Structure 1
Amino acid sequence: MGFSNGVNERQRRLGEELRRVRDAAGHSASEVGEALGVKGPNVSHIEAGRIGLTLERLNTWLDLCEVTDAEYRAGLTSMSESTGKGWWTEFKRHVTRSALDLAEAEATATALDNYESLLIPGLLQTKAYSEVIQGYNDTKVEFRHERHKVLTGNNAPPYRAVIHEAALHMMYGGPTVMRDQLNHLIEMSQLPNVTIQILPFDCTTYASNDTPFLLIRGAHARLDTVLLEHPHGSDFIGDPEVVTTFDRKFDRLRGLALPPLSAATSAPSPAQRDSLGLIQHIRYKVQGR
């Protein structure tokens, strides 16, 4: 039972879940430590993600806390046994810890729900658009586009995006870049696992649509996570009440947004009130610039 060199989000979240089930069962850290055959302070280190658990000790912990949900236990087991290594490992010295955590979380997600207000979602960006957003940092752009493979690989998770119309009007990189980006949204909507909706300017209902977020669905609903990004980094939040709040918010945004993009359906006019029609209308205006 050795200390981890730096705690990643998966390790932190596993520890948080173990603390949560211990608290729910009413056991003290010393009681759990006695059952595991470790000293009480080590339980605190486990719950902080600094120390890992063998499968035997993990099962002992869950049995003691009367965790019977097989799907939830399997999710915790997978988190505990993961090495944390993947394609993102080679970028370890070039991107932030939160970026690595996001890539790992996306790789194991069962579904992804995304809302963006002023930017095209990262997983839907063209290379030229990403270059502008990433300040023409080649490594960061490459990293972002490696992330895109999660939507096209084997067992790609369902991805639902609600994008505010404002993001479609921001001319990041100029008209050519934005025209290609709008075309790319239409192309991505053809993937069977991708659903894109646009929240229009003329929406008259306020739904706290000023805060972008990503809902990362875990192996069990109790393992869902909300990602909030800000200028100083990213916050991964697993508190069930917070997740439920954002879950409801996303459902509300979907209900207020225009019907999903469907490249299989031709819009009879540029102004048709669906997501495809709106994108085509904006693309037409961009072409005239």
Structure 2
Amino acid sequence: MLTGILAGLAAGALWGLVFVAPRMVSGFPAVDFTAGRFLSYGAVSLFLMLAVRKSAWPNARQALAALGMSVLGFTGYYLLLVFAIRDAGTEVPSLIIGTIPVWMMLLGKPAGLRLGALVPGLVLTLLGLGLMTQASHGAGATAGEAVPHLDFWRGVVFAVASMVFWTVFGLVNAAWLKKHPEVSATTWANWLGVATGLGALALWLAAGSDAKVLLARTDWAQAAMLCMATGFGSTWLATILWNIASRRLSASLCGQLIVSETLFALAYSFAWDGRWPTQVQALACLLFAAGILASIRAHR
């Protein structure tokens, strides 16, 4: 259990880097950056599968499973989120996506664990989420003010779909790994990587910028290096660590560990800005951390 918890927290630490990396190349198209990150993930995975002599290759059924889950957890999830932010702004989609740990805890609860045991962690997480949303966007700001009514509700639908995609991925991925112990965490990460790389190529061709436009930017080299860094660390390595956690822990506890991604993302953001969190943000972080500890205690 301890190994799984540490692996889940390490995955959260690596995922958190994705939130500050785009700020290092401010103004670079989000779809292009994400496609580059996922293409790098696919390239690393394919290279390792070709370079390692005894590397396992998937059969048709396994390849289809990897392709489907890569859409749920990577390219499809992010594309829906991009559409949601385009139509509804950032606040409401962020709040909806922030409920993923809650749904993971509720839907992935082990049969022998009472629902009441999860209540403290759920309440602490929801309180932290509410405080962080208020601190980030202000009590008077609403996402619907700047967009037409119909577009706003279409964005809400996209955000809910995005949340459903990743929640299903988290639950199905954990179940698949437990059902197939013969497939190692690294092997499954590589199969997902190749499938995700193919999806990223389709994403870039459908919604990305022209290659000549990207190469004309002065920051293309820096963006490329960040894509490779996040593709290796925040995606390939993080996926291996998450697979380890998913195999060793229940889906409900893994869901709570996702909150660590938010905590690390905030810490990196504060460090990048060179400032301390406000009192409300600090309180939200404490509530997030307390929610994780409460959930770990409930699963012991």
Q: Assess same fold via TM > 0.5.
A: no
Point out the structure with max Rg over C-alpha.
1
Return the structure number with greater helix share: 2
Return the structure number with greater strand share: 1
